Structure 1
């Protein structure tokens, strides 16, 4: 009886363990990745998401351009864990990257910054990975985390006070996509939709006057919802300036 109970217990543990392993593996999607070269190994300030200089250095410059995952710009700011599959060269964990650009490669989902590509490898072995150029990888979506940073709104350099306003959201923590942005029109007592100009840049001709309140529609596996930011941009806003919000995570 005791032996049977032990055997049953061991079998149960093995089944739980196997289920956990299979579930973990099923979260990953098989694909391919390559890299782009830059003189400083950082990201590019001209990425299609519109992040500018932020897109060069965010997440320690572990950034990537994508094609299918770009999703007309709603994929900008998403985070992924990417790991390659070459024995004795690729690390177990791979690298966490932030999407900052649209890029197309040779059947690749990811075109990584040089720094991010190097982190696919076991420490001090990156020199053996680069000659491959394109490698088989597996990836999964993960929450973005920016300890010490709240969500920020940047008034894009294209903006012209007071007649044209373009904004983008930085430090997009969590695992939701931003699918719409609206600004509060005090005179009409209604939310006014902003247009996705490109990437993650939202614009509006003839924006409201006074301190500006925004709300962003976010969508993910938990459905859709609105996240509101009240009076976060001053009435005399300036192009190129970044304004803080009280939101720490889109969740």
Structure 2
């Protein structure tokens, strides 16, 4: 009887600890996977994924910026005017004879926009026409789940946390009076809702969303070390990258901060 009581107490403590951990995740804004949903997927480019470099999010060379070939262009609905940039999805082929056996899934990062094609029917060529949810994957990513000869396959997908090595990266463009920043390697939800910059001689300055993963500030920031404050679109969690760029920063450089979302 005593042994049963101890086991019951230990189990109770375990359950309480799990509930507290889940509550802590919510408090911290940690991103949780979404339920599985249905969509379709195609691919673009070749096996080397050279055509997928660049893209509407502004990540440039995806090998150099750490995204590689496990990427996808999102239909307008998912792209969300650029706020979908950097989000991560698990995708598996579903219900097609072209699906690989065992229904393997691959995880991709959104790096591009699949634009509408209003000259084609949404079910016959206009795959990315709203309100369709569609993934135009790199060919290497598509080939992980289905035979590429299929062209298009039905898929199941879900949002998942983005697991990133290192901190958030800021690539600078513009000049000392107009700072344009491409934000990369964002963990957690992977997305950005709002962003601020602070020079060592200024207060926090709100940055406007330019396009994709790019934010801009019209301010005189030359010769100042710069800090950034970023809020996630998915979780509303905010992180601050203090002194992310030194006072001698210049455009064309990428600076990495020692912070990231969970």
Q: CA deviation at 1:89?
A: 3.3
Unaligned runs of 5+ in 2: 1-33, 116-125
Contact 1:79 1:99 (8 Å CA) reproduced? yes
CA deviations 1:194-213 (Å, max 9, x no partner) are: 11111010111224341001
Q: TM-score w.r.t. structure 1 length?
A: 0.76
Q: CA deviation at 1:146?
A: 2.3
Distance 1:45 1:205 in 2: 29
Unaligned runs of 5+ in 1: 1-25, 122-128
**1:89 aligned residue:** 99
Contact 2:139 2:148 (8 Å CA) reproduced? no
Matched, 1:142 2:160: yes
Match for residue 144 of structure 2 among 119, 123, 138: 119
Q: CA deviation at 1:55?
A: 6.8
Contact 1:44 1:56 (8 Å CA) reproduced? no
Contact 2:199 2:225 (8 Å CA) reproduced? no
Q: How does 1:236-251 map to 2 (within 5 A)?
A: 236-247=248-259, 249-251=260-262
CA deviations 1:182-237 (Å, max 9, x no partner) are: 0115545x3111111110101112243410011001132xx423210111111221
**1:153 aligned residue:** 170
What value does the CA root-mean-square deviation take over the aligned residues? 2.2
Contact 1:42 1:114 (8 Å CA) reproduced? no
Residues 46/244 of structure 1: CA separation in 2 closer, same or farther (3 Å cut)? closer
Give the 3-state SS of the residue equivalent to 1:229 in structure 2: strand
Q: TM-score w.r.t. structure 2 length?
A: 0.73
Give the 3-state SS of the residue equivalent to 1:131 in structure 2: helix
